[in-house]
């Protein structure tokens, strides 16, 4: 199997470790309604609209349990904390009790039929298995085994379950069940949706990366060389096939087999690439994160748009009432008009997002131009403030051009106020470390963390980073 030598960063701060960013809210810790909710025993189950079931849902149980552990780690109320721990253990114990032992490992079956109409071939008769579930359940067992509030016997029991579950990810597609295969180019895949034939599957990106989090947790907890090597191989696969995941200037693709743009998964891909950067320390995945952010930034950004004096073209697009993308409307232009401001002005925006086939736009949310969109164009029209920050760990390196090319750098307050400006110019290319990237007053920028420019933001278009183009 192909390996590029991605090594695990085992000393990550707790907040950067897998699943810490997906806590279960207290109001969801005891759900009793909806298609996914707890049964009388506290087990997270699937209740189809048809009235059939309830059914075990291995990924749902693992994710709910991991979210409860994340909440347990940060909750300060003792009673709530105990509920979160109980919920997490209930899911793990249910999964252990429902396991299928095969091919030297533990497997977790889906006991209901499933078909995805957008993905021909993802059509399963129960029971079926998923590599995503195998990896996420591995994380659940490991994270429980790491809680020192549990008895030694319970921690040992969960660690044994982790050992048996990891064994399932060492089995290839030469038998059933299977979840891991090596493609014709020698790249390893953990299949969220393994096919009926060897090597057949959806080659789904998010499912594979979520499964990799289990490898990371297990390797860090046990020192397992095979787990670290499999994580390296999977990271190598993601890096190799990122150009197929990416859909330049639009939503990334859900899977390699069907290449369907996935609006609801694009932000997942951003977060997953960011975590792979932290887990490996490689700038490769940081660069992938940056590109996905620019392709289709998270639209949940609001604030104040600054407009320079002069003419501006405003648009109405065929979107949802909130301004969100809809396949039916497809962001078709409905109307445009030109307005002129005699002096610099501002307007509130409820959304910043890419319009299909166009650049980034702002939806004006109050005043005479409510419901109209304005295109982002620094310094003509831009969102004030610092938004969509990505933290780099370890720090990356930006390179200023030589030849005494002037580059303006900025000190910026949280509201976007410029508190300082410098012009940097170097006879030879000059390096500086950066620990983060953000959209600062409408432009991607890197913050410098050492030297005479410490604390200043440099526009990404003015520098290169880690010897790769910073934007594009």
Question: What is d(CA 419, CA 440) in angstroms, rounded to the nearest whole number?
Answer: 13
pLDDT in tens, 439-463: 999 999 999 999 999 999 999 999 9
Cis-peptide into 127, omega within 30 deg: yes
Question: What is d(CA 354, CA 367) in angstroms, rounded to the nearest whole number?
Answer: 22
In a 3-state reduction of DSSP, which class is residue 368? Answer: coil
pLDDT in tens, 104-134: 999 999 999 999 888 888 899 999 999 999 9
Do residues 168 and 161 lie in contact, with contact meaning Cβ atoms separated by under 8 Å?
no
In a 3-state reduction of DSSP, which class is residue 100? Answer: strand
What is the model's pLDDT at position 468? 53
What is the model's pLDDT at position 450? 96
CA 451 to chain centre: 32
What is the model's pLDDT at position 467? 56
What is the model's pLDDT at position 237? 98
Provide CB contacts within 8 A for 274, sequence distance 6+. 285, 286, 289, 390
What is the model's pLDDT at position 471? 40
Q: What sign has the CA pseudo-torsion 2, 58, 18, 225? A: negative
User: Dihedral (C-alpha) 151, 155, 160, 166: value to the nearest 10 degrees?
Assistant: 170
Q: Are strands 114-115 and 105-107 parallel, antiparallel or unpaired?
A: unpaired
Per-residue b/e over 388-414, b at no fewer than 16 CB within 10 Å? bebebbebbbbbbbeeeeebebbebee
Provide CB contacts within 8 A for 148, sequence distance 6+. 155
Q: Are strands 386-400 and 360-364 parallel, antiparallel or unpaired?
A: unpaired
Task: Write down how long the chain is.
Answer: 472
Nearest to 387 by CA among 302, 308, 469, 306: 302
The segments of the chain whose pLDDT lies below 70 read 467-472
Q: What are phi and psi of 177, to 5 degrees?
A: -75, 165
Do residues 234 and 188 lie in contact, with contact meaning Cβ atoms separated by under 8 Å?
yes
């Amino acid at each position: 199997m192909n390996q590029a030598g991605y090594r695990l960063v085992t000393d990550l701060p707790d907040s950067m470790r897998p699943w810490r960013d997906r806590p279960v809210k207290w109001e969801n810790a005891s759900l009793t309604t909806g298609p996914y909710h707890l049964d009388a025993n506290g087990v997270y189950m699937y209740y189809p609209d048809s009235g059939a079931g309830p059914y075990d849902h291995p990924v749902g149980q693992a994710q709910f349990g991991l979210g409860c552990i994340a909440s347990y780690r940060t909750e300060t109320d003792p009673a709530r904390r105990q509920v979160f721990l109980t919920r997490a253990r209930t899911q793990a114990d249910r999964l252990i009790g429902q396991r299928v032992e095969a091919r030297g490992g533990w497997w977790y079956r889906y006991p209901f039929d499933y078909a995805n109409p957008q993905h021909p071939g993802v059509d399963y008769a129960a029971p079926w298995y998923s590599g995503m579930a195998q990896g996420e359940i591995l994380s659940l067992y490991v994270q429980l085994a790491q809680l020192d509030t549990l008895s030694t016997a319970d921690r040992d029991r969960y660690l044994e379950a982790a050992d048996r579950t990891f064994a399932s990810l060492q089995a290839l597609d030469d038998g059933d069940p299977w979840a891991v295969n090596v493609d014709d180019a020698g790249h390893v895949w953990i299949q969220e949706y393994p096919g009926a034939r060897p090597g057949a599957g959806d080659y789904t990106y998010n499912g594979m990366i979520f499964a990799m989090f289990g490898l990371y947790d297990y390797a860090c907890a046990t020192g397992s060389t095979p787990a670290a090597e499999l994580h390296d191989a999977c990271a190598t696969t993601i890096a190799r096939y990122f150009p197929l995941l990416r859909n330049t200037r639009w939503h990334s693709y859900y899977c390699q087999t069907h290449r369907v743009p996935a609006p609801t998964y694009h932000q997942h891909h951003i977060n997953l690439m960011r975590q792979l950067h932290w887990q490996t320390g490689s700038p490769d995945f940081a660069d992938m994160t940056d590109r996905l952010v620019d392709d289709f930034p998270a639209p949940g950004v609001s604030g104040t748009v600054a407009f320079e004096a002069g003419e501006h073209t405003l648009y109405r697009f065929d979107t949802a009432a909130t301004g969100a993308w809809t396949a039916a409307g497809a962001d078709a232009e409905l109307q445009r008009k030109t307005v002129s401001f005699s002096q610099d002005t501002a307007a509130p925006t409820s959304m910043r997002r890419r319009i299909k086939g166009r650049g980034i736009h702002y939806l004006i949310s109050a005043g005479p131009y409510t419901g109209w969109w304005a295109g982002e164009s620094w310094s003509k029209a831009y969102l004030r403030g610092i938004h969509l920050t990505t933290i780099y760990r370890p720090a990356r390196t930006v390179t200023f051009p030589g030849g005494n090319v002037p580059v303006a750098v900025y000190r910026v307050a949280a509201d976007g106020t410029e508190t300082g400006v410098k012009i940097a110019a170097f006879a030879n290319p000059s390096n500086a470390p950066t620990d983060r990237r953000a959209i600062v007053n409408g432009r991607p920028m890197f913050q410098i963390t050492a030297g005479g420019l410490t604390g200043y933001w440099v526009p990404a278009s003015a520098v290169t980073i880690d010897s790769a183009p910073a934007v594009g």
